[in-house]
Amino acid sequence: MGNPTAFLRLNRESSLSERPPAGRVADWNDFHAGLDEQKLRDQASRCMDCGVPFCHNGAMLSGMATGCPLHNLIPEFNDLAYHGHWEKAYRRLARTNNFPEFTGHVCPAPCEGACTLGNRHSPQPTTIKNVEYSIIEKAWSEGWVLLRTPARRTGRTVAIVGSGPAGLAAADQLNALGHSVTVYERADRPGGLLLYGIPNMKLDKRHILHRRIAHLQKEGVTFVCNAHIGDAATGPGLAPSQLLATHDAVLLCTGATQPRDLAVPGRALGGVHFAIDYLTAATRALLDGTPGNPRLTAKDKDVVVIGGGDTGTDCVATALRQGCRKVCQIEIMPGPPASRQPGNPWPEWPKTLKTDYGQEEAIALQGADPRTYLTTVKALSGDAQNRVGGIHTIQVQWRKNDKGQPVPVEQPGTEKELPAQLVLLAMGFAGPEQNLPKALKLDTDPRGNIKADFARHATSLPKVFAAGDCRRGQSLVVWAIAEGRAAATAVDAYLNATAAK
């Protein structure tokens, strides 16, 4: 702890790392501007080097992540950054995190939620996320991110299905161990959720994502795109039996990509889309340099986003950049409180009101927060062309039923109709798509997730493993990276054991 009084003298500064909301909506560029080096070192100096640092605990409390699931050595790299030892800080960070540039952009930072400086009425945790992102960007610019090309190959081959954060992390680890890794991706480009599930201004595809994928390719990882494993009906198919026959191990990292639907009258009207389809179309149009699908654009439309969370925020920000007339966001849950409540003690993740980048931009352009809480959708109405034109809502209150379960109760007299020519469903994901698990006859849990032991990541089928959201359910990018790393260890152990027989 190089500066033992910094946390008492210096305030947290994180908003300075973002471009002003009103200006950044004019482009699709990264909205992270970054702090200058002295400010970064000052912020890193606020780290207290606690006796028991919860920031890298990586546990689950009350069903929420607290601390970093990757167990990043946060007090160490903060101290190194404070002293200007940036390369050493990068080496510490790279020990536990394969892709700090991903988490530095899109992670909600459970490490900061567990920071000891957050254990106050007006929390000001260390800006861990900003420091992490700055460390890895400096490492790239200085040439410290070296190729981990193995000195020799083991002769063992691994197929990874899915190129999201779990698949990429596992590929990086297994390739470094000398195994020959092929990553199969059904989309036209690798990246999975990181590519098409997150808009460019939040995670730049060419500078951030493509840079890392090109690095993995130079290290020896092979990517095969447009590969529809076990689902030939949607494109050029590759039979699961062929995958098993040609590889010594198979790791499934297919994600939880089955979106939750909205069962209300009018759902089949044109202009009602899943958020992931909308975000995918926007990113593909940007990368291809085309106008995109006119039915999947928000230009000159009233847009209603149903659901909160990161995906809802991304839809709000995307609609603003496409030139929507107005965007609003509907959530059935109550608005979070401004500060921690007694039932949400530190170091749990703070369930407090956060105004994310999309809401900041809507406030700057529209003059008000786009979110409406305690509201549910009753029906959608359309025009003569069967296109959505309006959304009918009603307010709710949460009450406990006779079983003690909280349920939403509609409040008569609170009905409203909102204009909407584009409705986006951002209500989360119900689990992994079932084509591949069924084709492989894998055991699944009641939610449809692939059953696989946490420590071994082994499924019910020999030499087939699973990791990421398809195993644990919808979660964070940082959890996916952690799962990919753990699964790689399990696959390596399996390959070594079978090679010894």
Would the pLDDT of 235 be above 60? no
- Whether residue 261 contacts residue 267, with contact meaning beta carbons closer than 8 Å, is answered with yes
Query: Residue 437's pLDDT band (boundaries 50, 70, 90)?
Result: very high
Distance CA 251, CA 466 (A): 5
pLDDT in tens, 83-142: 999 999 999 999 999 999 999 999 999 999 999 998 865 679 999 999 999 999 999 999
Phi, psi of 243 (to 5 degrees): -65, -45
Give me the pLDDT at residue 51, please. Answer: 83
pLDDT in tens, 446-473: 999 999 988 899 999 999 999 999 999 9
Give me the pLDDT at residue 234, please. Answer: 47
**Four-CA torsion 75, 76, 79, 82, nearest 10 degrees:** -110
Domains along the chain with CATH numbers: 6-142 (1.10.1060.10), 157-258+431-500 (3.50.50.60), 261-427 (3.50.50.60)
- Sheet (strand 249-252) strand order: 222-224, 180-184, 157-161, 249-252, 464-466
CB atoms within 10 A of CB 379: 14
pTM, full prediction = 0.95
Lowest mean pLDDT among 247-251, 336-340, 494-498: 336-340
Give me the pLDDT at residue 231, please. Answer: 63
Mean pLDDT within 379-405: 96
How much of the chain is in helix, strand and coil states, percent to nearest 5?
35, 20, 45
- Which residue bears the tokens 């409705």? 423
Give me the pLDDT at residue 103, please. Answer: 97
Mean pLDDT within 28-55: 90
The secondary structure of 283-297 as a DSSP string is: HHHHHHTS---GGG-
Mean of all residue pLDDT scores within the chain: 93
| Length of the chain in terms of residues written | 501
Look up residue 374 and give its two tokens: 């305690």
Which of residues 7 and 460 earns the better pLDDT score?
460
Distance CA 165, CA 103 (A): 10
